[in-house]
Amino acid sequence: MSDRPPGAGRCPRLLVLGAGSYQIPALQAARNLGMHVIALDRNDKVSGAALADAFHSIDTTDREAVARLALAENVDGVIAPCTDVAVPTQAYVAGVIGSPGPGVEAAETLTDKARFRAYQARRGLPHPRAIEADPDCFDAASLTERAYVLKPARSSGSKGIFVVAPDEIGERLPQTLAYSPDRRFVVETFITGAQGTVEGLWIGGEIALAVVTDRLTAPAPLVATLGHLWPGRFDEDFRRRLLDAIADILADLGVPDSPFDCDFVAGPDGPVVLELTPRLGGNSLSKLVRAATGTDLPAQAVRLALPGSLRPQILPPETPMGPAAGVIVLGSPTPGRLAFDEVGEASLKAEPWLAGIAWDMPAGAAVRRFANGQDRVGEALFLAPDRTVLDARHAEILQRLKVSARPC
């Protein structure tokens, strides 16, 4: 890797792991900052491929192949935005090329659900009681709680995750294993409470930015994210305890400067960290953060992926632009052909509080029932003067769009 600064006639070269819709903001941010962007994705038809200066069809989990590409392309930094499964590859490749990265041990601990629960247990941190199970000898008769969460040990986007009673695990297990390449899965106690997400920046061993949202989820047995509303309805003491818990984990694992994404639940005794990863979050959280605080998280993230000699100046978060913001992940409740109220969409676009509606596919396209992040059909970003009005506008968007699916 060259250590010549951009002013010496060479722009920074950034490798982006993944080029789907959620990676587009990072790809665009890198281009806007004048970086030479190399992107890769297993799917060579992904929408973000056209934004890269060079694109390669490579599985983001194949760390050796990605490392060879990084060396061949002489990249200066590597980033895995909005995808848990690529974070260990980012860490490994960063070690190979000598760029900033979360470290392989930290990356594997934070992105493997079984390892993370074991880590929390060793440290005595609040966590759901969990067991890593073998599909060939799992006995649900030993489970005594009414509800559990069944999940692949490694996945993202809520794929293969279900809330189940013990006697429902056998029925759901094949769907979970379909998203588990190594056939590992986790069964953990379901903690009742409000769900939330923190999207932020970890810089200099401190949380430099934290946007705490209410996380809206699909009805059980699903857990997929349906949107985020900011500010979350959590009091200041809860928020402080939550951020202290996040900082403790990031510091203990030695995570360097990085964006972070955390899902949590408000348990009976306080915040419980469910997932924490050193990457940008999906579900268009970066757009919500930009609307809520003025901070361009993708731009910050790509800067942090470069070594100090190449890293553009890190700018502090800006003053919040408005008191409330929300993002809705749009999906169909049934499979079929995508349909929505086009008159309602047009009327919404005339509302000054709607920041944007984006569709992943046109009306009439074949869609699945919304069960995980792969099934989304679009998104809506909106603003409000306070949370009460934000909640009302959230309901209004859904009512006016009427997203559904016609039978095929």
pLDDT class of 323 with cuts at 50, 70, 90: confident
**Which pLDDT score, from 0 to 100, does residue 141 have?**
79
Indicate the pairing of strand 162-164 with strand 185-189. Answer: unpaired
Helix (H, G, I), strand (E, B) or coil at 261: strand
**Which pLDDT score, from 0 to 100, does residue 161 have?**
94
Rounded distance between C-alpha atoms, residue 390 and residue 384, angstroms: 5
- Lowest pLDDT segment from 116-130, 146-160, 218-232: 146-160
- Spatial CA neighbour of 215 closest among 371, 109, 327, 348: 327
- Lowest pLDDT segment from 5-19, 74-88, 107-121, 241-255: 5-19
Give 123-141 as a DSSP string. Answer: HT-----EEEE-TTT--GG
Q: Across the chain, what does the average pLDDT equal?
A: 93
**What number is the average pLDDT over the span 195-201?**
97
**Which pLDDT score, from 0 to 100, does residue 13 have?**
97
Residue 313's CB: how many other CB atoms inside 10 A? 5
Span 66-108, pLDDT tens digits: 999 999 999 999 999 999 999 999 999 999 999 999 999 999 9
Say whether pTM exceeds 0.85.
yes
With a cut of 50, say whether residue 11 has pLDDT above it: yes
Question: Please, are residues 342 and 249 in contact by the beta-carbon 8 Å criterion?
Answer: no
Indicate the pairing of strand 195-203 with strand 185-189. Answer: unpaired
For residue 335, the cross-strand partners are none
Span 244-296, pLDDT tens digits: 999 999 999 999 999 999 999 999 999 999 999 999 999 899 999 999 888 99
Q: Residue 369: exposed, middle, or buried by beta-carbon count in 10 A (0-12, 13-18, 19+)?
A: middle
Rounded distance between C-alpha atoms, residue 219 and residue 216, angstroms: 9
217: enclosing H helix or E strand: strand 206-217
Rounded distance between C-alpha atoms, residue 4 and residue 112, angstroms: 36
**Which pLDDT score, from 0 to 100, does residue 3 have?**
40
**What number is the average pLDDT over the span 22-47?**
95
**What number is the average pLDDT over the span 327-332?**
97
Q: What is the residue whose two structure tokens read 């934070």?
A: 110
